[in-house]
Structure 1
Amino acid sequence: MIFTDSSFYPDVSPGYLVRVIHQMSVAAIDRTLAEDGMTATQWMTLVSLYFNHADTCAGLARRMAHDKGAMTRIIDQIEANGWVLRQRDPDDRRVVRLTLTDAGRAAALSAKQKVIACWNGFLADWSEREVEDLVQMLQRLRNTMEESDACQG
């Protein structure tokens, strides 16, 4: 499908659909993790640290497509819960490294099981092949967007 003025509207717009799906999933995960005193965004941050996607606030903000100020507030919250430690880099005192505490690792892994159950619930009527295809297509789209300059004015 090539989009045209007459064929491009919200229900076929990849950006719109991805955004709505993201908002719906965050709301569902927020409800799922509420009893643990955790939000979906806090969980995504813990998991990003757990999988070593970044180890600084700025790195997490880039990786998770968040505003740096918002990421700082999220780190403040998870630090207050005892899930992360901030430590100055010994080689560059301007850099603050983030590490999960034992409690943070445990919270991330416990929440991961609940998030898995949530997504398995969303996809219960999908075949394993359909789920694999969806993930592959989303990964392909992400990679294409990372490498593309299609929207560079």
Structure 2
Amino acid sequence: MNGAMGEGVRGELTDRFVCAIQHLSRLMHNERLGELKKLGLNAHQANTLMMLYHHGPTRMGALANYLGSKLPHMSIIVDHLVGKGYLQRSSDPSDRRVVICEFTDDGRKATQRIINHTRIRAKKVAEKWDFKQFESVVESLESLWSTDEERSVCIVSDPNKDRLFNKM
């Protein structure tokens, strides 16, 4: 039993974990699609808004790196969001070549709509559990989140990459 996917008890548990994560992702993603359509957004644009919601005004290069995109593609995404009135661009006063992306009021409201929609969906699911089940799920997800957050901090704080948020 080396814990490889599908091998032994740990492998079976890993398979179940992966299946549960995929199902959770599909559940939340499918519910979000309708709301995104109402807002005239695609997944790339929504991910950009969510990134800015969590990190505040951010350099274009940092957005591209964080979202796994190339700078030209990120520029197209931001162009669409600026055109919809959801974002505004400005130059970094210390380096005019650096573009800073930030919300407009409409962009903040649109993002809050997406978040509220997700919250309502999550509450509907949680209502089906008794308190003990609910607490167990929350603790497990918080553990997963903190584990991933530790990994993400290492990626984001690489001094050789343009991934530092809010660097002005």
TM bucket by the smaller chain? 0.7 to 0.9
User: 1:48 aligns to what?
Assistant: 51
Query: For structure 1, which segment, 69-78 or 96-105, has the greater mean C-alpha deviation from structure 2 after superposition?
Result: 69-78
Q: Relative to structure 1, is the Cα distance of residues 77 and 140 closer, same or farther in structure 2, using a 3 angstrom cutoff? A: same
User: 1:151 aligns to what?
Assistant: none
1:8-87 aligned within 5 A: 8=11, 12=15, 14=17, 17-19=20-22, 21-52=24-55, 55-64=58-67, 66-68=68-70, 69-87=72-90
Number of residue pairs aligned between Structure 1 and Structure 2: 147
Q: Choose between structure 1 and 2 for higher RCO, CA contacts under 8 A separated by at least 6 residues.
A: 2
Identity, % of aligned pairs?
A: 22
1:20 Cα deviation (Å)? 5.4
User: 2:3 aligns to what?
Assistant: 3
- In structure 2, which of residues 133, 137, 148 is the aligned counterpart of residue 142 of structure 1? 148
Query: For structure 1, which segment, 46-55 or 90-99, has the greater mean C-alpha deviation from structure 2 after superposition?
Result: 46-55
- What RMSD in Å do the two structures reach over aligned CA positions? 3.2
1:25 Cα deviation (Å)? 2.6
1:40 Cα deviation (Å)? 4.4
Q: Relative to structure 1, is the Cα distance of residues 128 and 79 closer, same or farther in structure 2, using a 3 angstrom cutoff? A: same
TM-score after normalising by structure 2? 0.67
1:132 to 2:138 alignment = yes
Q: Relative to structure 1, is the Cα distance of residues 4 and 110 closer, same or farther in structure 2, using a 3 angstrom cutoff? A: closer
Q: Relative to structure 1, is the Cα distance of residues 102 and 27 closer, same or farther in structure 2, using a 3 angstrom cutoff? A: same
- Preserved CA contact (<8 Å) 2:50 2:111: yes
1:80 Cα deviation (Å)? 1.5
Q: Relative to structure 1, is the Cα distance of residues 106 and 144 closer, same or farther in structure 2, using a 3 angstrom cutoff? A: closer
1:77 Cα deviation (Å)? 2.1
Q: Relative to structure 1, is the Cα distance of residues 116 and 128 closer, same or farther in structure 2, using a 3 angstrom cutoff? A: same
Q: Relative to structure 1, is the Cα distance of residues 3 and 70 closer, same or farther in structure 2, using a 3 angstrom cutoff? A: farther
Query: For structure 1, which segment, 1-10 or 78-87, has the greater mean C-alpha deviation from structure 2 after superposition?
Result: 1-10
1:131 Cα deviation (Å)? 3.5
Deviations 1:79-118 (A, max 9, x none): 1211001111121012100111111112112222112112
- Preserved CA contact (<8 Å) 1:85 1:98: yes
